[in-house]
Amino acid sequence: MTDVKTQIDETVKSNDVVLYMKGTKEMPQCGFSSRVAGVLNYMGVEYTDVNVLADEEIRQGIKDYSDWPTVPQLYVKGEFVGGCDIITEMTLSGELDTLFDENGVAYNKEAADKIREANA
């Protein structure tokens, strides 16, 4: 498990934005992963996706790494942000914009505003 933890740690710390998810950003394989990937894709965020379905050790390892029981999991600049519900709330409140701004992560502000307008 140590090798998996090291692999996860390196991935999280060497990429600005990482989404551990079921499936890929092009083809999510669960609704929760699809929602988070959809938000990031729509907002034009460059991110690394890791398909936990492709590797059982990663699938369990990411849960142990974050001490969070579910996938998807979003990391920004090496820090765990949250899962689907948290990312949804942060998107709708504007907190995700602030997080990206504070960490120098490029995104389309207009797209973020459109998500909020559509869900108002």
Confirm or reject CATH 3.40.30.10 for domain 2-118, answering yes or no: yes
CA distance 54 to 63: 15
What are the boundaries of each domain within the chain? 2-118
Q: Which residues contact 17 (CB under 8 A, 6 or more apart)?
A: 40, 45, 46, 47, 48, 74, 75, 76, 77, 105
Rounded to two decimals, the pTM is 0.96
Q: Write the pLDDT tens digit of every residue in 53-108.
A: 999 999 999 999 999 999 999 999 999 999 999 999 999 999 999 999 999 999 99
Q: Write the pLDDT tens digit of every residue in 17-50.
A: 999 999 999 999 999 999 999 999 999 999 999 9
Residue 1 has pLDDT above 60, yes or no: no
